[in-house]
């Protein structure tokens, strides 16, 4: 069988539309898809670019049409409450952690995809999980401390820095291991408690799918040495602290769509 025969012809990518930059993500996805198909026609490569459809997701029926999903930014606490009310929280967990469909969370979306979070509201907040990491919410302070910073993202294989838009952004403060204490004040519906079964599952996943750090950013002055983790991937799950959809730089959307095609093959 040729590689082309394995490439899906139709891919539906959803953007969770409870809050945040939904239209912005869809617009960059459309540009990215156009770029992929024009690249393909000039490269005369042996694999064909699939036909992409981009949809907004507010219901379980819409989610079930999706092969891949973006969870945009917003306010993760509110997003979790709304998702719970709409009956979407468990289907989202199923989508990411059981069906293993490619999912990308930006900012609040990264928080939702973490197994644990700190600086949450009292009593914690519900999470989807999928990334064995603990995030620190609002790492850079409040809305007025939002900023744009140049990021070097080696996975883009280009020197040109990516303008990272950080708005009350989280960072990954801990990559969880089976011995880690990151049970915390949050629930992703599975690993949070870390009983025997969960530890075994976590160990198995860490053996097969490690959390990869794909981007870092220097810690702000006075908050310690070194770099904060602002982009991670574990298997099919990708998370960024910043908002690529608020720029006109299509590179991360192009990269992610290619990953989606690869992983659905």
Ligand X SMILES: NC(=O)CC[C@H](N)C(=O)O
Residue ranges that bind ligand X, judged by CB under 6 A: 73-76, 107-108, 111, 137-138, 167-168, 170
How far apart are CB 178 and ligand X at their closest, in Å?
Answer: 26
Annotated binding residue at 205? no
| 245 among known catalytic residues | yes
How far apart are CB 76 and ligand X at their closest, in Å?
Answer: 3
From 24, 173, 174, 243, the catalytic residue = 243
How far apart are CB 19 and ligand X at their closest, in Å?
Answer: 8
Q: Which is nearer to ligand X, 11 or 114 (CB)?
A: 114
Q: How far apart are the first and last CA of the chain?
A: 12
**What is the C-alpha separation between 60 and 63, in angstroms, rounded?**
5
Annotated binding residue at 43? no
Annotated binding residue at 73? no
Annotated binding residue at 229? no
Q: Which sign, positive or negative, has the C-alpha torsion 265, 249, 216, 114?
A: negative
Q: Could you tell me if residue 204 is left (phi over 0), alpha (psi between -120 and 50 degrees) or otherwise beta?
A: alpha
Report the DSSP pairing between strands 131-136 and 171-175: antiparallel
Residue number closest to ligand X, CB atom: 73
From 107, 174, 191, 253, the catalytic residue = 107
| 253 among known catalytic residues | no
**What is the C-alpha separation between 4 and 6, in angstroms, rounded?**
5
DSSP state of 97: I
Annotated binding residue at 109? no
Q: Which is nearer to ligand X, 130 or 170 (CB)?
A: 170
Q: Which is nearer to ligand X, 243 or 253 (CB)?
A: 243
Contacts of 99 (CB under 8 A, 6+ apart): none
Q: Which of 11, 112, 105 has the alpha carbon at shortest distance from 55? A: 11
| 212 among known catalytic residues | no
How far apart are CB 10 and ligand X at their closest, in Å?
Answer: 30
H-helix or E-strand containing 171?
strand 171-175
Residue with tokens 């996805």: 29
Q: Which is nearer to ligand X, 170 or 235 (CB)?
A: 170
Catalytic residues: 107, 243, 245
- Binding site for L-glutamine, residues? 74-76, 137, 167-168
């Amino acid at each position: 069988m040729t590689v082309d025969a394995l490439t899906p012809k139709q891919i539906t990518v959803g953007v969770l539309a409870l809050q945040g930059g939904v239209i912005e993500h869809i617009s960059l996805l459309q540009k990215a898809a156009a770029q992929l198909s024009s690249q393909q026609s000039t490269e005369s490569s042996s694999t064909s670019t699939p036909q992409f459809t981009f949809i907004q997701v507010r219901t379980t029926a819409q989610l079930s049409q999706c092969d891949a999903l973006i969870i945009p930014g917003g306010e993760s606490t509110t997003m979790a409450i709304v998702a719970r009310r709409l009956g979407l929280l468990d289907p989202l967990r199923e989508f990411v952690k059981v069906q293993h469909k490619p999912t990308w969370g930006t900012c609040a979306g990264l928080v939702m995809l973490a197994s644990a979070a700190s600086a949450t509201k009292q009593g914690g907040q519900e999470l989807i999980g999928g990334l064995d990491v603990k995030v620190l919410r609002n790492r850079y302070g409040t809305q007025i401390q939002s900023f744009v910073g140049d990021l070097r993202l080696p996975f883009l294989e280009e020197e040109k820095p990516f303008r990272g838009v950080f708005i009350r952004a989280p960072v990954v403060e801990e990559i969880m291991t089976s011995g880690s204490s990151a049970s915390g004040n949050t629930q992703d519906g599975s690993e949070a408690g870390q009983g025997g079964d969960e530890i075994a599952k976590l160990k198995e996943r860490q053996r097969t799918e490690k959390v990869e750090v794909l981007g870092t950013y220097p810690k702000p002055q006075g908050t310690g040495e070194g770099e904060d983790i602002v982009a991670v991937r574990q298997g099919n799950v990708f998370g960024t602290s910043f908002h690529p959809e608020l720029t006109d730089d299509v590179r991360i959307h192009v990269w992610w769509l290619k990953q989606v095609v690869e992983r659905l093959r």
